[in-house]
Amino acid sequence: MYVVKYFILPLIFSISLPLYAQTVNDTTAETQWYYPPRPLSDSAYNAFTCQQKFVYNINHPESYNQICTLIRQPGYERTINRYLPPFAKDFKWSGRQLRFFRDEKIMVMTFIKAAIEEEIALQKVTRESKKKVAMSYKHAILAMNGVEMIPFLLKTYDPGTDMDMLTLFMLLMIDNEYIPFITSPFYCGFYENGYSKKREGKYATAIEDEILRQVTAFSNEKKYRK
């Protein structure tokens, strides 16, 4: 919490970066991107500290998406996606940004944990309803294979509120070839038929329980207890 309050949050307002984003005031708090990304020069980017690169990367994806984005359908809050929706519409992270997340994995996980803890603490003070973990954080965790964060994410997860967190759990198990999950009847029914199958499934408590059971077992087996 101290890191976020006294370093990360002030940093967002202090560094001079052209962040082309505006948060929409709705229940999803999605980020809308209105201008094409304008990457910093290598010299300017490399001059950043680790914290500055993290803030820049999270807020400023440098490349265009070359694939069709996942379009949210009405009622998506109660559906579980097979893949994470994009966090910045038509943009994605560049190669150097992805390398940063992977090379500085420990520090990035520290920053993300601190940001989530700060948000939870703020919600307790203001008595606001619990918000979902930012989609950009989910993508960063997936990009760097942040399986070490699973115990923390399980601890802070509020059942029935963040369907995309369930998607992240499934993708981490798939990327790490967790046999009990990828050979389970649920996986075969949800993923095995490829892209011709619907991209999402309707939320049900039984499905959520199965995903949480599997990812907990995966985390315990890998001994990511931090």
- For residue range 203-223, what is the model confidence (pLDDT) as tens digits? 788 999 999 999 999 999 876
161 pLDDT band, cuts 50/70/90, is confident
Q: Which of 4-18, 83-97, 131-145, 180-194 has the highest mean pLDDT?
A: 131-145
Q: pLDDT for 60-97, tens place per residue?
A: 999 887 655 555 554 456 688 888 988 887 788 999 99
DSSP H/E element including 170: helix 163-175
- What percentage of residues in the chain have a pLDDT greater than 70? 70
CA pair distance 17, 140, nearest whole angstrom: 20
Residue 18 pLDDT greater than 60, yes or no: no
Q: pTM for the complete prediction?
A: 0.78
Across the range 160-165, mean pLDDT stands at 90
Average the pLDDT over each of 59-63, 101-105, 174-178 and give the range with the smallest value: 59-63
Torsion 46-106-148-134 (CA) sign: negative
SS3 sequence of 30-50: CEEECCCCCCCCHHHHHCCCH
Q: What is the mean pLDDT of residues 197-206?
A: 69
